[in-house]
Copies of this chain bind each other. A is one copy, B any other.
C-alpha cells in the first residue's frame, strides 16, 4: 500500500520534490515573471505549518470507530491530524489557498483504509446505521473539490474512504488484451504491473504519479496520450462498484446492445453512486519506440490547421499539444537561463525572431509511439511534412524530450509560485473545430479582463490538446498576483469569468477535470434540468440514504 504520510497535505505530490532545480534557476524565473507581470514579486510567504492546524475532534462515537476498526483493521482507521488534513481537500487552487492559511473548514471525522471489498461494504453499512457521509478518496488530486468531505444535513460528518489498500492486479487476459485491477492502484504501480508483462494502459493524466484507476473512472479522466489511447471511457470494459445497496457490476465484453451501457453511468460519477473497487480495462502492447518532437508555427491558426490535417489523415500520433502565442512566449522565457554559459533558449528566441517567427509564434509538441521503429519514424515524418505545409519550422527532439521529462512536474511549480504570492489556475473545455478560434479568443479575452479587474495584472495563455475528428480541448492557464486580503474572492471572480466565457462559447463545463463542487453552479446548464433529474434518480436508487459524497456533481 502506498504511504500517504509522504504526500504533502497542503500542496502537490510528495515531500522533497519540486519543479525547479537550483536557487539560481528560481531567481531567473522570478525575474522573468516580474517582467511579464510588470510587478515586483511579493515577499516569500511560508504556508501554515501542520502543527498550527486545529481540527475539531472526531465526532464519531467510540462504538462507531470500533465497528470501523472491526471492518478495516486497527491500522485501517486513522484519526491523526495529518491523515485528516491530507484527506480534507483535493488540489484545486482554492484548496491550496485555504490549506496554506491553515484553514480547514471541513475535515473527515476519520480516514478508513478498507483492505477488501467486504470492508468497503461494511463501511457503507455503518454509514447508513450511524448516519455519516462517505467520501471515496483515491489519489486526492481532484482540482474541482471532488474529495472535499462534505456531509448532508443530519449526517454526523464525513468519513474519507481511502482506496490505497485496493491496489492489486487481479487478472491479466493477454489474449483479450484486458486487465482487471483493484481500483485503488496508482498510475505508476499500474503501469509497472502491466509493463512487466509487456503491456500498457496508456493513461497518463498530469496527476498520473498520484491518481488512481478508480479516480480516473470517477472523474472521466483523460491522459496526455489520448490521441492514441483515448480517454478512460475508451479503456474501461467493466467496472465494479460497491453501493449501499450492494455491488453494481458490468459484464466484461467488448461491446453490448443490451440496453444503455452502465459503465457510462459510473464514468464521471465522482463517487456519488458508490465506491469503485475493481475495473477491467483494455491494455495494449507497450510501445518501445518514442519519438517526441516540436514544430514552431508563425501563429496559432497554422498550428490548429496542422493538427486538423493530422487528425483527418488518421495518423496514429500519441499526442499533439499546441501552445498559443502567449503560452509559447511564457514557456520560452521561463526556459531562459542567464546563469548558464550557453543559454540555449535565449539563443533560440533571437534566431526565431530573425527568421520571421515573431510575437504570434505558436509551439506544437507532438509524439508518436509504437513497437516498429520504421513505422514510428514514417508517421513522425508525415506529421512534419503536414506541419511544413502550414509553414511549420521543425525544432527537433529537444523540446519533445523536455516535455516528456517535465510532463508530470508542472503542478509542483504552482506551490512554489504560491510561496511567492502568485496564483496559477487552469480552465479547460472542449469545443467543435468550427468554434475553436472563437472560443479561444473569447475565453482569453474574458480571462484578460478578469485578471485586470480582480488582480490588477496577470498572464493568460492556452494550449490545444486532446484533438478529435470533431473538435478539441482548449486548456487555459492564468497566473496572477495574489491579494493576500482577498485570495479566494479573486479566484472566485476569475473562475466565474472563465466559466461563463467557456459556456457562452459553446464549450463543455469540463473536458477532463470533472465537476466536484467548483463546477456545481453550472452543471444544470450543461446537463439540463431533466438530465440532472435522471442522474439524481439513478443515484437515489443506488444510494437511497444519500451517503455517498454528498454535495458533489449533482
Contact = CB atoms under 8 A, between A and B. Distances in A.
A220 B257 contact: yes
B513 A257 contact: yes
A262 B534 contact: yes
Contact of A254 (B472, B533, B541): B472
A284 B262 CA distance: 28
A374 interface: no
A554 B254 contact: no
B534 A255 contact: no
Contacts of A213: none
A260 B263 CA distance: 9
Interface string A403-429: 000000000000000000000000001
B253 A176 contact: no
A312 interface: yes
A432 interface: yes
B255 A231 contact: yes
A151 to B, nearest CB: 21
A19 interface: no
A530 interface: yes
A258 B251 contact: no
Contacts of A553: 259
A237 interface: yes
Contacts of A470: 176-178, 237, 254, 282
A165 to B, nearest CB: 24
Interface string A245-267: 11111111111111111101111
A123 to B, nearest CB: 18
Contact of A178 (B221, B251, B432): B432
Contacts of A429: 253
Given A248-B534, A541-B534, A255 B176 contact: no
Contact of A268 (B220, B258, B542): B258
A508 interface: yes
A185 to B, nearest CB: 19
Interface in A426-467: 429-435, 466
Interface in A219-277: 219-222, 231, 233, 237, 243, 245-262, 264-270, 273
A391 interface: no
A284 to B, nearest CB: 7
A260 B256 contact: no
Interface in A118-173: 173
A432 B253 contact: yes
Interface string A167-197: 0000001011110000000000000000000
A505 B519 CA distance: 44
Interface stretch (A73-81, A487-495, A520-528): A520-528
Contact of A261 (B178, B253, B268): B268
Contacts of A399: none
A431 B245 CA distance: 28
A515 interface: yes
A285 interface: yes
Contacts of A266: 260
Nearest to A522: B258
A258 B285 CA distance: 31
A312 to B, nearest CB: 7
A256 B178 contact: no
Contacts of A253: 429-432, 471, 506-508, 511
A535 interface: yes
B259 A268 contact: yes
A285 B260 contact: no
A258 B538 contact: no
Nearest to A553: B259
Contact of A434 (B173, B233, B515, B533): B173
A102 to B, nearest CB: 31
A316 interface: yes
Interface in A296-336: 312, 314, 316
- Which interface residue of A177, A251, A255, A312 has the most chain B CB atoms within 10 A? A255
Given A220-B256, A253-B430, A258-B268, 5 more contacts: A258-B514, A258-B523, A260-B535, A264-B265, A284-B469
